[in-house]
Amino acid sequence: MGMVDVSEKPVVLRKAQAAGKIFLSPKTLEEIKGGRIKKGNPLQVAEVAAMNAAKQTHILIPHCHQIPLDTVRMDFDVRADGIEAVCYVSAQARTGVEMEALVGVSMALNTLWDMVKYLEKDDQGQYPFTRITDIRVLKKEKQAKTD
């Protein structure tokens, strides 16, 4: 048991995209669109959280390799029932970056929840409608080895 030995694998360009969704109330979505969230712009904060998290994946997931990432980018689509988030990651590496993309999108969604939780709570302090769903890898790419 332990980390997989990737020392014999070539360093190639690797890319991954992961997505997920957070369902939010219409009121919360209007407050986001109107720029009225108490803690600031949740999409900007979630983007920074995703970048930080993706770069720290090897600390969060025990058997992941430490990969120097070339880029981490987030896209957000504010919809009528919530926000779809997509995390794009790329690196020149010996192993894939899909875990970094998954960690990035997961942290972005958790950060969105944290930024708006005061609007999502009901009278008992619960979150009856708020949920994070459909976290998945959309795409994983590996450049062919060239000799």
What pTM does this model have? 0.93
Long-range CB pairs of 32-38 (<8 Å, 24+ gap) are 32/78, 32/83, 32/116, 33/78, 37/115, 37/116, 37/119, 38/118
DSSP state of 40: S
Find residue 74's DSSP bridge partners.
87
Which domains occur in the chain, in start order?
12-140 (3.30.70.640)
Residue-wise pLDDT for 19-77, tens only, equals 999 999 999 999 999 999 999 999 999 999 999 999 999 999 999 999 999 999 999 99
Catalytic site includes residue 114? yes
Cα separation, 54 vs 98, whole angstroms:
10
Q: How do 131-142 and 82-93 pair as beta strands?
A: unpaired
Average pLDDT, the chain: 95
Active-site residue (options: 5, 77, 114, 147): 114
* CA-to-CA dists, residue 111 to 6, 46, 146, angstroms: 33, 5, 40
pLDDT band with cut points at 50, 70 and 90 for residue 5: confident
